[in-house]
C-alpha cells in the first residue's frame, strides 16, 4: 500500500460507505498506519445519519397521535427532531423499540385498537425484513399495521456523490453486508460509469487493510476494477430470495438524504399492490425536507467534505451524551467515532 501511494505522489481519498467499517477503522487505529497521502472519508454509510430531518419530524408527529403506536429500531430513538426525540416520547408509552420487523407486526396484532407505524429505515440489508412482514400483514389482513418507509439504496447515493457532491473521491470501500443482499456486482456501474475502484471488504482490521491495499494497487496501475475481498460471505449476485421479495413490495422513488439532498431513485416506497400499508398514504403525509439544525455540519461530514472536528459544534455543544446531529447520535456515525477515537487529532481552536 505504501509503495503504491508513494508512486502516486498525490493525495488519495478513499470513502468507506458503511458505518460498521467506520467504527472498525477507528477502533483498530487503521488511520494511524496509513500512508500520509491516503485519506479515509466516512461517507453516507449509516442509515440513521442519512435519514432526512423531514422524515424524523414526520415520525415525531405520528408519535403525538393518540391512535398510533410507533415501532422503531433502537438506532432511531435518540435522533433529535425539531423540539424533541422519540426517546422523550417513549415516556408516553406509545413508542416501542423493536429488534425486528416481525416484532412490529406482532405489536399490531396485540393492539388492534391502535395503528402501529413501523419506522422502516435502513439500507438494502434491512429492507427485505420489512418486505417480509408487509407481505404477511397483507396475507393475514392486519389492517392496523403500516410502515413509514425510509429505506435507502446505497448505489444511487454513491452516484450522487460522484456527480457533483464530492468528485474528489478516488475510490470506494464498499459495504460488506449490504453486498450480501445486492451482490458485489451491483457496484459495477460505479466502476464503469465513473472509473472509480470499488472493493467490497469485511469488517475485521486485516480485511479492511486488504481492501484498502487492493484499492491502492488499482489506483497506482490506473485501472479501476470491481473486486470483493470478502468472498466468504459476499457473492456476485447476492441473495436472490431477498431481492425478489423487495422487488415484489417496493419501488424505488426519488428521496431526500441528509446532506445529499434529493437523489433520483434512491428510496424504497411500497408499490401499488401494498399501498394500503404505506403510512405516507394512510396519514396523507407528503415527504418534504425540513430545515436541519443550524450550524450542524452533518451534511458536509456525510459527503466527506469535512472531518467532524471541523464542525464548530463538535465536542462543544454536540457530544454522544447530548447529540445535535445524527452523525453524533448513532454509534456508527462519523462524529461519534471521531469523538470516541479520534480526539487526539482534533486541531486546536
**Contact positions toward other proteins, by CB under 8 A?**
18-20, 23-24, 27, 45-48, 73-75, 77-78, 97-103, 121-123, 125-126, 128-129, 132, 175, 177-178, 180-181, 202-204, 207, 232-233, 239, 241-242, 245, 320, 330-332, 340
Least distance from other proteins to the Cβ atom of residue 87, Å? 9
For other proteins, the closer of residues 25 and 219 by Cβ is: 25
For other proteins, the closer of residues 18 and 215 by Cβ is: 18
| Alpha helix ranges (H) inside the chain | 2-8, 19-27, 30-33, 47-50, 53-63, 86-89, 101-110, 127-139, 154-160, 176-182, 188-194, 205-221, 240-249, 279-282, 298-302, 326-329, 334-341
Least distance from other proteins to the Cβ atom of residue 337, Å? 9
Least distance from other proteins to the Cβ atom of residue 57, Å? 20
Question: Strand, coil or helix: what is 317?
Answer: coil
Cα separation of 250 and 268, whole Å?
6
Cα separation of 47 and 253, whole Å?
17
Least distance from other proteins to the Cβ atom of residue 49, Å? 10
- How many CB atoms neighbour CB 321 within 10 A? 7
263 forms beta bridges with: 255
**Residue (of 30, 65, 37, 41) closest to 207 by Cα position:** 30
For other proteins, the closer of residues 178 and 226 by Cβ is: 178
Question: Strand, coil or helix: what is 78?
Answer: coil
For other proteins, the closer of residues 102 and 262 by Cβ is: 102
For other proteins, the closer of residues 4 and 131 by Cβ is: 131
User: What nine digits make up the cell of 205?
Assistant: 482490521
Cα separation of 238 and 177, whole Å?
10
Cα separation of 227 and 185, whole Å?
9
For other proteins, the closer of residues 4 and 302 by Cβ is: 302
Least distance from other proteins to the Cβ atom of residue 89, Å? 14
Q: Using the Cα atoms of residue 257, residue 123, residue 181 and residue 199 in order, give the sign of their dihedral.
A: positive
Least distance from other proteins to the Cβ atom of residue 317, Å? 19
For other proteins, the closer of residues 98 and 219 by Cβ is: 98
Least distance from other proteins to the Cβ atom of residue 323, Å? 10
Amino acid at each position: 500500500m505504501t509503495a503504491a501511494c508513494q508512486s502516486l505522489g498525490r493525495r488519495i481519498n478513499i470513502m468507506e460507505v458503511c458505518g460498521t467499517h467506520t467504527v472498525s477503522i477507528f477502533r483498530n487505529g487503521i488511520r494511524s498506519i496509513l500512508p500520509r497521502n491516503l485519506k479515509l472519508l466516512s461517507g453516507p454509510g449509516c442509515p440513521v445519519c442519512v435519514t432526512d430531518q423531514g422524515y424524523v419530524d414526520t415520525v415525531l408527529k405520528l408519535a403525538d397521535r393518540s391512535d398510533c403506536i410507533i415501532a422503531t429500531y433502537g438506532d432511531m430513538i435518540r435522533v433529535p427532531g425539531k423540539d424533541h426525540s422519540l426517546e422523550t416520547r417513549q415516556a408516553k408509552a406509545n413508542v416501542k423499540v423493536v429488534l425486528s420487523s416481525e416484532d412490529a407486526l406482532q405489536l399490531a396484532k396485540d393492539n388492534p385498537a391502535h395503528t402501529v407505524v413501523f419506522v422502516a429505515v435502513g439500507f438494502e440489508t434491512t429492507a427485505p425484513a420489512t418486505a417480509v412482514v408487509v407481505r404477511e400483514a397483507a396475507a393475514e389482513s392486519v389492517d392496523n399495521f403500516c410502515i413509514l418507509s425510509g429505506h435507502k439504496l446505497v448505489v444511487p447515493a454513491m452516484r450522487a456523490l460522484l456527480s457533483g457532491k464530492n468528485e474528489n473521491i478516488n475510490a470506494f470501500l464498499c459495504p460488506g453486508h449490504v453486498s450480501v443482499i445486492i451482490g458485489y456486482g451491483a457496484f459495477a456501474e460505479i466502476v464503469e460509469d465513473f472509473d472509480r475502484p470499488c472493493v467490497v471488504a469485511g469488517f475485521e482490521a486485516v480485511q479492511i487493510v486488504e481492501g484498502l491495499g487492493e484499492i491502492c494497487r488499482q489506483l497506482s496501475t490506473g485501472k479501476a476494477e470491481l473486486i470483493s475481498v470478502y468472498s466468504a460471505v459476499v457473492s456476485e449476485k447476492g441473495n436472490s430470495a431477498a431481492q425478489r421479495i423487495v422487488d415484489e413490495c417496493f419501488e424505488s422513488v426519488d428521496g431526500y438524504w441528509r446532506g445529499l439532498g434529493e437523489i433520483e431513485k434512491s428510496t424504497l416506497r411500497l408499490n401499488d399492490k401494498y399501498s394500503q400499508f404505506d403510512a405516507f398514504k394512510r396519514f396523507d403525509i407528503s415527504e418534504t425536507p425540513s430545515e436541519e439544525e443550524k450550524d450542524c455540519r452533518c451534511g458536509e461530514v456525510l459527503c466527506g467534505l469535512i472531518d467532524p472536528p471541523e464542525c464548530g459544534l463538535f465536542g462543544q455543544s454536540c457530544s454522544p451524551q447530548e447529540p445535535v446531529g445524527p452523525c453524533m447520535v448513532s454509534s456508527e456515525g462519523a462524529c461519534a467515532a471521531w469523538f470516541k477515537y479520534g480526539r487526539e487529532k482534533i486541531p486546536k481552536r
